[in-house]
């Protein structure tokens, strides 16, 4: 990779961060508009109206839509034929986050849990968190997910008895969300990871939030489970911002891995109404493209 290539990738990541922080993807915006139309509760409608107005203003003025500009998770899928060096990639991503923090600007959100020290540029020990997967593709995808603290605090891990089966998964998710969804800035998107282990189910749940709203799992049985979960969560009646109403979630995404015979791990990760994301795609000739809206 030439220095020029590296610079153009870094620039694209800064630009993608800006798009993610200031503009909602079309599927999310459409889902919020639909929620506004379908909601009957006047109080919930007031909240949805404020959200839509806010999104319009942030796009128009190119400002972060929420003051909690989040911690940044990068899911990188490295194409096998790519000659990008992962160590270089980590450095480029960190540089881009530092620049984006200054240029957009973003709120400095990285705090040392022992000393309270904040480096001020959204980087620090293990953050931004970068997850690498290797895929049979000529392209490399850098998927960016800024995520606020309020929604991250609504995450949960359940290590269920396998005998409880999918009903157990359903009840665990509903019982958890009934308690916390009102604090995660609903209407939320819910990611559910089933199987693997404690770490993998959480990661699958979070990564599933990158899937656009309305896109079902490719396996029909899982797609049906997603739809049933969406209906059940909305039937709880939590509503936008927890004021009561019929739209609590915009979508539910499920991912899975094989599990240990003795374990049924369930990860729940929640995204707030500001379901922000953007992707930088690098092809085999080092052409760089941003996919954000």
The binding site for another protein (CB under 8 A) comprises 43, 46-47, 50-51, 53-54, 57-58, 61, 63-69, 105-109, 111, 116, 118, 120, 148-150, 153, 167, 170-171, 174-175, 178, 182-183, 185, 232, 235-239, 241-244, 272-274
Half-sphere exposure of 146 (CA within 13 A, CB side): 32
The distance from CA 92 to its chain's CA centroid, rounded to whole angstroms, is 21
For residue 121, the minimal CB distance to another protein (Å) is 12
For residue 144, the minimal CB distance to another protein (Å) is 18
Cβ distance to another protein smaller for residue 127 or 232: 232
Cβ distance to another protein smaller for residue 175 or 199: 175
Beta-carbon contacts of 82 under 8 Å, excluding residues fewer than 6 positions away, are 138, 139, 140, 282, 284
Cβ distance to another protein smaller for residue 90 or 236: 236
| CA angle in degrees (0–180, nearest 5) for 190-62-132 | 45
How far is CA 90 from each of CA 9, 151, 162, rounded to the nearest angstrom?
12, 26, 38
For residue 253, the minimal CB distance to another protein (Å) is 20
74: region left, alpha or beta (phi > 0 left; psi from -120 to 50 alpha): beta
Asked if residue 201 lies in contact with residue 193, where contact means CB atoms within 8 angstroms, the answer is yes
User: What H or E segment, with its residue span, contains residue 16?
Assistant: helix 3-22
For residue 40, the minimal CB distance to another protein (Å) is 15
Cβ distance to another protein smaller for residue 167 or 258: 167
For residue 17, the minimal CB distance to another protein (Å) is 14
For residue 243, the minimal CB distance to another protein (Å) is 6
Cβ distance to another protein smaller for residue 58 or 140: 58
Cβ distance to another protein smaller for residue 70 or 79: 70
Question: What is the distance between the alpha carbons of residues 100 and 122, in angstroms, rounded to a whole number?
Answer: 9
């Amino acid at each position: 990779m030439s220095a020029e290539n590296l610079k153009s990738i870094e620039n694209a990541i800064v630009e993608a961060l800006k798009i993610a922080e200031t503009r909602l993807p079309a599927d999310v915006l459409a889902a919020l508009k639909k929620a506004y139309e379908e909601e009957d509760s006047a109080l919930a409608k007031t909240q949805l109206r404020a959200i839509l107005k806010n999104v319009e203003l942030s796009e128009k003025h190119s400002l972060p839509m929420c003051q909690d500009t989040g911690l940044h998770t990068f899911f990188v899928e490295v194409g096998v034929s790519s000659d990008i060096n992962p160590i270089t990639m980590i450095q480029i991503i960190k540089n881009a986050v530092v620049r984006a923090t200054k240029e957009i600007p973003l709120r400095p959100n990285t705090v040392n849990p022992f000393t309270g020290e904040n480096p001020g540029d959204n980087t620090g020990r293990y953050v931004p968190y970068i997850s690498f997967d290797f895929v049979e593709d000529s392209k490399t995808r850098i998927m960016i997910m800024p995520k606020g603290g309020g929604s991250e605090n609504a995450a949960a891990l359940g290590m269920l008895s396998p005998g409880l089966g999918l009903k157990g998964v359903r009840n665990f998710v509903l019982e958890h969300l009934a308690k916390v969804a009102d604090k995660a800035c609903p209407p939320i998107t819910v990611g559910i990871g089933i199987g693997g282990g404690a770490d993998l189910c959480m990661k699958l749940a979070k990564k599933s939030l990158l899937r656009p709203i309305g896109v079902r799992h490719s396996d029909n049985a899982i797609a049906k489970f997603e739809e049933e979960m969406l209906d059940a969560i909305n039937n709880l009646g939590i509503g936008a911002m927890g004021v009561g109403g019929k739209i609590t979630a915009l979508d539910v995404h499920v991912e899975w891995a094989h599990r240990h015979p003795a374990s049924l791990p369930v990860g729940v990760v929640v995204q707030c109404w500001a379901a922000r994301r953007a992707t930088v795609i690098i092809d085999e000739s080092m052409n760089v493209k941003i996919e954000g809206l």
